[in-house]
Amino acid sequence: MLEELAREEKVVSSVPTGLFIDGAWRPAETGATFAVEDPSTGRVLAHVADASPADGMQALEAAAKAQTSWAAVPPRERSDILRRAYDLLLERQEDLALLMTLEMGKPLSEARGEVVYAAEFFRWFSEEAVRIDGGFATAPNGQGRLLVMKEPVGPCILITPWNFPLAMGTRKIGPAVAAGCTMVVKPAEQTPLSLLALAGILQEAGLPDGVLNVVTTADPAPMMEPMIRDGRARKLSFTGSTAVGRKLLEQCADQVMRTSMELGGNAPFLVFEDADLDVAVEGAMQAKMRNIGEACTAANRFYVHSSVADEFARRLGERMAALPIGRGVEDGVVVGPLIDGDARAKVASLVDDAVRRGAGVVVGGAPLDGEGYFYPPTVLTNVPEDAVMRHEEIFGPVAPVATFETEEEAIAAANDTEFGLATYVFTRDLDRAFRVCERLETGMIGLNQGIVSNPAAPFGGVKHSGLGREGGRVGIEEFLETKYIAIATP
Ligand code: NAD
């Protein structure tokens, strides 16, 4: 026990807690710091620099200053830096996973998985860095030639959320580095340590000063708005809530900035009467319980054909009830705490609301007493359409099940939301699979599987779930500008 605590302290104290600007670590200009907590105990893990708006502008200045020289670095060198960082992430997987579990709460097994997932973005984009190309054509009338070039979009502002503290960083930093962009990254105030550790790794991997700058703050709005409105940053990539995304889009409009917005979801999970129920329950466990339900792709509404709904809810309830709950650092734990007291209070109030409106509780249903922000895996049945959780992200381990009779009804229910990020479909009928997939208003579909995230695939949503895609072949395009040269021919 004492040994484990000593290891936790060692891992946390190895992380630099200052601002990373122009290749150097330094405190905030005011000397202010803010506390980072372990959500499983409420204990303070570390104090990190609390940047002021002036600190933010210095980070932007450093990124702007480095842009021209960074854009001139050969693609192979940019690629090699990412590849070295990939190797270092894997080498340090254990320490990084422990750090992430301590500040975010997810079980160690999932944190280890996230380190690999995060590293894979660096590997993918190290491969993409050397494949940036353009085009050449003869003008249709034969008069002249058309040359199309790709260039880095310029200095970027990258804002990341707390739920995947490392992977949401590498998913943005990887393509920005590969494309030749400089950047200012602002991690979420709940989980800055993983990203600070990542900055150290990128420096070690040889990233030149000023290419990556990291500013941490407890109060993002006053620091970020002047940076966005300044005009030197040419791109904003944001992952977070739709409410904040909307505000940022307004701010970006001023300077007509490029934007990528990965926002909220309200993922439907459809189980048809011909589905393999074993596969559907397994998929539900992944789509619901990955990251303790704190994922934008988490299944938020289960629609199950009435002929199999009871069986599905019973089996899902049994699996969910058997999951060990506890501190993510403990062996065998699958369900860690939620990120903070507000998150837990929100989950509890959504469940209370659904029950008040007539939902039945199969398992769970009330917050757990004691230290930390724990909420148990919960399955609800007959959740009515007017329950608030049908329309809002639950962001917790709660599976609300409702039934449908026809394919038409299932598609209408799935599309009845302003969001459109991920959708899950379970059926063994290939014709139905394509029919349904084509009519779903969504950016991603898990067909007979509960996970859609993959560095090699375009991640993103439609409607209020966002703009643009991250990962896959299109991921780097978000960080590239197109320039065309009209060439006169004799
Ligand atoms: P949030 O929007 O409150 O915060 C996200 C980030 O934005 C944090 O770094 C935060 O400090 C920063 N931020 C907050 N207000 C800001 C402001 N006024 N100006 C500039 N920056 C500001 O979201 P959250 O509650 O921390 O994260 C959960 C949300 O993120 C969920 O809605 C979830 O669906 C979404 N999410 C989406 C994806 C995706 O890829 N689509 C992935 C993960 C999370």
pLDDT bracket for residue 1 (50, 70, 90): confident
pLDDT digits (tens, 9 = 90+) for 8-20: 999 999 999 999 9
Q: Among residues of the chain, what percentage have pLDDT more than 70?
A: 100
Secondary structure class of 464 (helix, strand, coil): helix
Give me the mean pLDDT over the 452-468 stretch: 98
List pLDDT tens digits, range 146-202: 999 999 999 999 999 999 999 999 999 999 999 999 999 999 999 999 999 999 999
CA distances, 204 to each of 82, 85, 227 (Å): 11, 8, 27
Tell me the pTM.
Answer: 0.97
Band (pLDDT 50/70/90 cuts) for residue 351 is: very high
Ligand 1 centroid – CA 433 distance (Å): 33
Write down the pLDDT at residue 428. Answer: 98
Q: How far is CA 64 from the centre of its chain?
A: 26
Give yes or no for a contact between 241 and 170, defined as CB atoms under 8 angstroms apart: no
Residue 210, SS3 per DSSP: coil
Distance between CA 323 and CA 213 in Å, rounded?
40
Q: What is the pLDDT of residue 138?
A: 97
Q: In 3-state terms, what secondary structure has residue 241?
A: coil
Q: Are strands 480-487 and 145-152 parallel, antiparallel or unpaired?
A: antiparallel
Gap from CA of 390 to ligand 1 centroid (Å): 21
For the cut 80, the answer to whether the pLDDT of residue 261 exceeds it is yes
Is the confidence at residue 2, as pLDDT, over 90? no
Decide whether any atom of ligand 1 lies within 6 Å of the 392 Cβ. no
Give the distance (Å) from ligand 1 centre to CA of residue 334: 24
Residue type present at position 435: R
463 lines ligand 1 (CB under 6 A): no
Residues 6+ apart with CB under 8 A from 230: 57, 60, 255
pLDDT, mean of residues 443-466:
98
Q: Is 263 exposed, middle or buried (0-12, 13-18, 19+ CB in 10 A)?
A: buried
Q: Which residues pair with 462 in a beta bridge?
A: none
Distance CA 247, CA 251 (A): 6
* Active-site annotation, residues: 262
> What is the mean predicted confidence (pLDDT) over 461-478?
97
As a whole-number percent, the residues of the chain with pLDDT over 90 amount to: 99
Question: Over the stretch 276-325, which tens digit does the pLDDT of each residue have?
Answer: 999 999 999 999 999 999 999 999 999 999 999 999 999 999 999 999 99
Q: Is 468 in the pocket of ligand 1 (CB under 6 A)?
A: no
Ligand 1 contact, 236 CB (< 6 A): no
- Distance (Å) from CA 101 to ligand 1 centroid: 19
Q: What pLDDT, on a 0 to 100 scale, did the predictor assign at position 430?
A: 98
Q: Convert the pLDDT of each residue in 365-406 to its tens digit.
A: 999 999 999 999 999 999 999 999 999 999 999 999 999 999
Mean pLDDT of the chain: 97
Query: Quick one: which atom of ligand 1 is closest to the CA of 159?
Result: 9
Q: Is 38 in the pocket of ligand 1 (CB under 6 A)?
A: no
